[in-house]
Amino acid sequence: MDSITTAHPPAPSFAAARDRLAAADDGAAIGHYAGHRLASHFQPIFSLSHGRVVGHEALLRASDEAGAAVPPPQFFDVDGFDELLWRDRLVRTVHGANYARDAQPAQWLFLNMHPQVFLRGPQADPPGFQDEFLAHFGLRGPQLVIEVLEDAVRDDADFAAAVERTRARGCLIASGGCGPRSSSSTAAWSPARRSTRRRGAWSCRWSRCCTSAVRWC
């Protein structure tokens, strides 16, 4: 896998993101982009109802050329949607490659997605990124939980369409938080089933069943 740090293609397809991956000394997948090293950290998600770990949340571990940690909000603080889309998709590809190394069929992968990418990503270029992502890493739609910051999207006119696109792939949606929470915090997740939605107000079926330290990245 090649490590490339310069200009990216105008359309961040799955193949383009996959080709930017490199292998770390321990065999883990990493990404290199704009002077940043991108790695994964997986945090267990424990279900009270199941009484066991039911999945893992993928968290970004970014660092600069000097090895100093770069907070995810700083990495995603960019001008222009195309640049944001590229970074978001590259990070998710890094996570997918690492999770696929020892994925458990009966567990979920929680992936954070930037709110604007959730709303606008599939419209930015020909569809197929998520489908190719799932197929390449051997994942099924119901194994993937898309975590998005609820307050940033719920009043957007494109929200309902974004939910329907997620439903079409069988994926789940989680209401993500912003910043670290305590280990006793509740993460709400559910199948992406919209019961009612109008501009400025919406309701969705959320199951509160998992506890974890959830952060936006």
Instruction: Please report, for the domain that includes residue 136, its CATH number.
Output: 3.20.20.450
CB 172 within 8 A of CB 140: no
14 lies in a domain? Answer: no
Domain that holds residue 121: 38-61+71-211
The CA angle 137-122-29, to the nearest 5 degrees, is 30
Q: Which two tokens stand for residue 193?
A: 């089933």
* Total domain count, the chain: 1
Find the helix or strand (DSSP H, E) in which 85 lies.
helix 81-99
Residue owning tokens 């359309």: 11
111 lies in a domain? Answer: yes
**What's the rounded Cα separation, in Å, for the pair 155 and 157?**
7
The per-residue pLDDT string of the chain (217 residues; one tens digit each, 9 = 90 and over) reads 444 444 554 557 899 999 999 999 999 999 999 999 999 999 999 888 889 999 999 999 999 999 999 999 999 999 988 899 999 999 999 999 999 998 888 899 999 999 888 888 666 655 688 889 999 999 998 999 998 876 666 666 777 788 888 878 788 888 754 333 323 333 444 443 333 233 322 333 233 323 332 322 2
CB 63 within 8 A of CB 72: no
17 lies in a domain? Answer: no
8 lies in a domain? Answer: no
